[in-house]
Amino acid sequence: MTNSVVRARFAPSPTGYLHIGGARTALFNWIFARQQGGDFVLRIEDTDSERSRPELIDVIFRALEWLGLDWDGTPVHQSERAHLYADAISQLLAQGDAYWCQCTPDEVKARAEERGGTPGYDGFCATKNLGPGDGRVVRFKVPDEGATSFTDIIRGDVTFENAVLEDFVIQRSNGTPMFHLANAVDDAEQNITHVIRGEDLINVTPKVLLLRNALGITTPLTFAHLPLIVNEKRQKLSKRRDDVSVGDYIDRGYLSEAMVNYLSTLGWGPSDGIEIRPLAEIVQMFRLEDVNKAGAFFDVKKLQHFNGEYIRNLSVPQFVTRSTRWLFDDTPWPAPNFDIAKFEVLAPLVQERVKLLSEVPSYVDFVFLDDPVIDEDAWNKVMVKNADLARDILPYALSVFADCEWNAHSIEVALFAYAEQNDIAKGKVQAPVRVSVTGRSVGPPLFESLEVLGRTEVLRRLTAAVERMG
RNA sequence: GCCCCCAUCGUCCAGCGGCCUAGGACGCCGGCCUUUCACGCCGGUAACACGGGUUCAAAUCCCGUUGGGGGUGCCA
């Protein structure tokens, strides 16, 4: 173990926010590294200056931090190590394993179409012995014969015939290296031992292997290509068409523990069938070789269920703390109206009802709003369709609430006396009071809510509701 | 087109030749609990893609078919 320390890496390209697929890749790398007592390092693959957006690098780091995936050492930025790639390219050129090419993309494409059949580069400049020059790229000379194989921990042996691989570009015409090249160089330079990434990259593996071979890199590198996370149409998650930014899930009130736990069940599952469990246990049980081969659908419904479980497992103070953001920013009520003491009373009741922290405000807004927001559907059902009952109950509530003791239990006894006297279901009796006071037909238990709101305000809202009924 | 990969309930996972009349979870549908809504509890629904082999025995191994996905960039 000492001389074979595992080093796994997550190598995002800062062309977008961290998305679900990237988060899962990072997570599996992290789990594997931690389980093996190895390192988990980061590498920013920003060789394409055209597409890279430096400001996103920090966003990605923060998303990883939110997920709790701590990394070892300082992240490497490919844009800062151009010399390493330049050296490798010079070596390849000197060895005759690469050559300069002056074909434009359009020319390559045109010839391919003319040729019919397989698209791709035809080796047009392979024997021209061109030197550097404006608009010229460097291409790697793929052997015409033979095959490149590797053993994938998840997929077993995978083989590509070299003949189907074109002479691919390793240095752009602007002088920057392509990612295959940077990849081969960096994995060696960073002593990476395991490459764990999405299956969409499996086909670039032979290219990287060919490059490593030509560069004389002999240190072993083990691959594990993870199944893709897919949408309802079973297609690879796309930043454009799918809702996959990790940041968006944070904003919607998902707990990172729930997200990480859920992600761990995509492509893998503990053999005892217990899905919801601490990350530490997952690290213990996880086996890279047990990861599935087939793509997994990202099921938000199931994620929500996990989230609800995690929320309910929080202590009440933790729940209050975690809800902070939704209590102070962008609230439906005027900020000065908020009273944390009142929220804390209702917190345990809200906690077992929400699946997302973002739902918290809608459960307590009536307490901090000057007037409740009336839900029209609820009003129609309870105050219009059942107006007769409401007209009996509201005056009754107004009178008993005026002088009963003001605590949840007494309020309940006072109101439900009506249910017993008139032999009406309690559910029917509480409805008009709930709608009058909270504006909604659903919410936390009514009597605790009334207690928190206070007698004066409850009476005022009840009166207002009677007037509104006309 | 060509290359690569994949295939167990609607979805995620378990299953690694006999313990499988296939198990768990989400969802969905019933029911119980109940002041609403949730929670919790009980029950139900529902799958080994198809066809050939191998074997005493196959969801599990092999081959083919079909279906799906990924790639095919001077993106990663």
| pLDDT tens per residue across span A286-320 | 999 999 999 999 999 999 999 999 999 999 999 99
Q: Mean pLDDT of all residues in chain A? A: 95
d(CA A25, CA A260) in angstroms, rounded, equals 11
User: Left if phi > 0, otherwise alpha if psi is -120 to 50, otherwise beta: which for A137?
Assistant: beta
| pLDDT tens per residue across span A49-97 | 888 999 999 999 999 999 999 999 999 999 999 999 999 999 999 999 9
Q: Does A115 contact strand B, using a CB cutoff of 7 Å?
A: no
Active site residues of A: 239
> Residue A447: which nucleotide is closest by CA–C1'?
B35
pLDDT of residue A151: 95
d(CA A241, CA A273) in angstroms, rounded, equals 33
pLDDT of residue A2: 42
CA–CA distance from A373 to each of A114, A159, A328, A378 (Å)?
Answer: 68, 64, 19, 11
Tokens matching residue A277:
């469990």
How long is the CA A38 to C1' B48 vector, in angstroms? 38
How long is the CA A86 to C1' B18 vector, in angstroms? 60
Instruction: Please check whether residue A69 is in contact with residue A27, taking contact to mean a CB–CB distance below 8 angstroms.
Output: yes
Torsion of Cα atoms, A434 then A438 then A440 then A442, to 10°: -70
Polymer length in residues for chain A: 470
Task: Please name the residue whose C-alpha is nearest to the C1' of nucleotide B25.
Answer: A275
Exposed e or buried b for every residue in A213-248, given b needs 16+ CB within 10 A?
A: ebbebeeebbbbbbbbbbbeeeeebeeeebebbbee
Residues in a beta bridge with A277: none
Torsion of Cα atoms, A166 then A167 then A172 then A176, to 10°: 110
Model confidence at A4, pLDDT cuts 50, 70, 90, reads: low
| pLDDT tens per residue across span A27-36 | 999 999 999 9
pLDDT of residue A328: 97
Report ipTM for this prediction. Answer: 0.96
d(CA A339, CA A144) in angstroms, rounded, equals 74
DSSP A300-347: HHHHHHHHHHHHHTS-HHHHHHHHHHHHHSS-SS-GGG--HHHHHHHH
Closest to A263 in 3D by CA, of A252, A276, A253, A273: A276
Exposed e or buried b for every residue in A323-357, given b needs 16+ CB within 10 A?
A: beebbeeebebeeeeeeeebbebbbebbbebbbbb
Chain A residues 199-238 within 7 Å (CB) of strand B? 199-204, 227-228, 230, 233-236
Q: In this prediction, what percent of chain A has a pLDDT beyond 70?
A: 99
How long is the CA A302 to C1' B41 vector, in angstroms? 21
Tokens matching residue A317:
């103070």
pLDDT of residue A114: 84
pTM of the predicted model, to two decimals? 0.95
Sheet with A156-161, side-by-side order of all strands: A76-77, A39-44, A7-10, A194-198, A222-226, A147-152, A156-161
Q: Does A5 contact strand B, using a CB cutoff of 7 Å?
A: no
At A334, the amino acid letter reads P
Average pLDDT over every residue of A195-216? 97
CA–CA distance from A398 to each of A134, A359, A393 (Å)?
Answer: 87, 30, 8
Tokens matching residue A265:
């069940």
Closest to A167 in 3D by CA, of A225, A99, A115, A121: A121
Name the most confidently modeled range: A46-50, A105-109, A423-427.
A423-427
Average pLDDT over every residue of A262-271? 96
- A1 pLDDT more than 50: no
